[in-house]
Amino acid sequence: MYKIYLAGGMVNDWRECVKNKLDCFCYDPCKIKKCDSKEYIKWDMGAIKKSDEIVAYLENSNPFGANMALEIGYAKALNKYIVLIIDSKRKGFSMCIELADEIYDSLDNFKTKYHHKNNR
């Protein structure tokens, strides 16, 4: 089964919008039970390693984005396919943009144009 890791902010419902678009298994960090940071990092890195693809969303409401950037870098080091959704008003993150295999400038564009790698 094709597996996708969802990286990005945890404050709104973008993950549910993305999951509704995908026909595959998703690793969603928002769904793991509370644990200490060492356990979370172990789960996080393990989920990325088991994934075929990463869908990362850097939305305007995500104030920091550093964890997502780390996840993208780790995924690229593992030769994972990276899809980046980056709101057009966001500045910076040029390394994440360069590492991405596909880029969308809004969640709406992603929802209308994206087909996961397994279906290309």
Q: How is the chain split into domains, by residue range? A: 3-59+77-119
Architecture of domain 3-59+77-119: 3-Layer(aba) Sandwich (3.40)
Torsion of CA 65, 76, 51, 44, to 10 degrees: -40
Proportion of the chain above pLDDT 70, given as a percent: 92
Instruction: Answer with the residue of higher pLDDT: 8 or 32.
Output: 8
Residue 55, CA distances (Å) to 9, 64, 115 in order? 12, 17, 11
pLDDT digits (tens, 9 = 90+) for 100-118: 999 999 888 998 888 766 6
Phi, psi of 109 (to 5 degrees): -65, -40
pLDDT in tens, 4-16: 999 988 777 888 8
